[in-house]
């Protein structure tokens, strides 16, 4: 166990856990690009490991929201009725394809970059969308809202299974538009409660396929679990006007880096930690 422990991975888990606790944005938006860009982890392995990482990290938040009764289980059921079948179909397709080649890895990186860009926009505009939703409370017919919620769940299930991104800021942002009369905390709680089983299902599927590193997962959780606690405590003292633009900038930079990486040949894609080790060894 001592030999398997990696300080850099634990520190990365701590940093992402703090940000998740501070902002409520899912770990997939932060951890997957960090694993790919900084540690040079294979995109499929990064996605599969991060799904279980996000699920286990968010369990605590889901329990807290459940105890505070800030979870709308009707919304959770609607989301799950779309996301679970979509995730199973996506995982079945990935299992059928088998080990992907370089072009498929680049497609995963490209899709992750696009989703991170959309997540950055969602984070930056969340305050405006919240205000807009409360000022324009024209509620759509219940059947239409239910159908759109199921469709949202299907999109999230597909996106999460491919890239581990989608169940956080994007999901909450769309729910704000669909349910303008519900409290934001209730929508956030519903989204977190839905994200846990979805990430577990998708993560288990990637595990069966062989895309999960449990050594890496353990190191990340060592840092992320206390990180979430710290971030949740600090969230009541950190102003949104500082946190949200900062997080949006981080996501935009990650999106741009992944976009560049998806177009690079193998020899040009050297992870940051390898460069650091080479520099240290040269001295």
pLDDT at 24: 62
Report pTM.
0.68
If DSSP codes are grouped into helix, strand and coil, which group holds residue 271? coil
Q: Is residue 2 part of a domain?
A: no
Neighbouring CB atoms inside 10 A of 277's CB total: 11
Q: What is the mean pLDDT of each run of 10 residues along the chain (283 residues)?
A: 69 85 68 82 83 79 70 91 92 74 68 77 73 62 88 88 69 77 76 84 83 87 84 67 72 76 55 43 48
Question: What is the structure's pLDDT at 75?
Answer: 92
Give the pLDDT confidence score for residue 88 in this predicted structure.
Answer: 92
* Residue 1 within a domain: no
Please report whether residue 54 resides in a domain: yes
What's the pLDDT at 148?
Answer: 92
User: Does residue 189 lie within any of the structural domains?
Assistant: yes
**Who's near 259: CB < 8 A, 6+ residues apart?**
109, 110, 113
**Structural domain range at position 197:** 7-278
For residue 193, the model assigns a pLDDT of: 82
Within a domain: 283: no
Cα separation, 211 vs 52, whole angstroms: 11
Q: What is the predicted pLDDT for the residue at 236? A: 57
pLDDT of residue 167: 63
Q: Is the dihedral of CA 143, 145, 147, 149 positive or negative?
A: negative
Element (H, E) at 199: helix 184-209
Cα of first residue to Cα of last residue in the chain, in angstroms, is 30
Please give the Cα distance from 240 to 204 (Å, whole number): 34
* Domains held by the chain: number: 1
Q: What does the pLDDT read at residue 1? A: 41
């Amino acid at each position: 166990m001592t030999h398997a422990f990696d300080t850099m991975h634990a520190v990365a888990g701590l940093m992402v856990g703090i940000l998740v606790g501070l902002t409520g944005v899912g770990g997939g938006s932060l951890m997957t690009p960090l694993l790919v860009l900084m540690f040079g982890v294979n995109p499929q392995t990064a996605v599969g490991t991060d799904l279980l990482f996000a699920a286990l990290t968010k369990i605590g938040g889901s329990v807290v929201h459940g105890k505070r009764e800030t979870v709308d289980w009707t919304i959770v059921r609607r989301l799950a009725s779309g996301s679970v079948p979509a995730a199973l179909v996506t995982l079945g397709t990935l299992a059928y394809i088998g080990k992907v080649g370089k072009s498929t890895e680049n497609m995963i990186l490209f899709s992750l970059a696009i989703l991170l860009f959309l997540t950055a926009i969602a984070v930056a505009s969340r305050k405006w969308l919240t205000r807009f939703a409360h000022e324009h409370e024209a509620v759509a017919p219940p059947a239409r809202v239910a159908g759109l919620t199921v469709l949202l769940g299907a999109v999230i299930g597909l996106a999460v299974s491919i890239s581990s991104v989608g169940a956080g800021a994007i999901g909450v942002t769309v729910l704000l538009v669909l349910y303008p009369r519900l409290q934001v905390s209730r929508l956030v709680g519903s989204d977190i409660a839905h994200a846990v089983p979805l990430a577990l299902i998708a993560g288990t599927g990637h595990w069966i396929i062989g895309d999960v590193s449990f050594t890496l997962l353990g190191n990340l959780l060592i840092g992320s679990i206390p990180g979430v606690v710290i971030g949740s405590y600090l969230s009541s003292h950190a102003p949104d006007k500082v946190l949200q633009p900062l997080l949006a900038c981080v996501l935009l930079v990650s999106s741009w880096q992944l976009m560049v990486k998806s177009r690079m040949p193998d020899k040009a894609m050297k992870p940051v930690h390898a460069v650091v080790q080479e520099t240290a060894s040269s001295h």
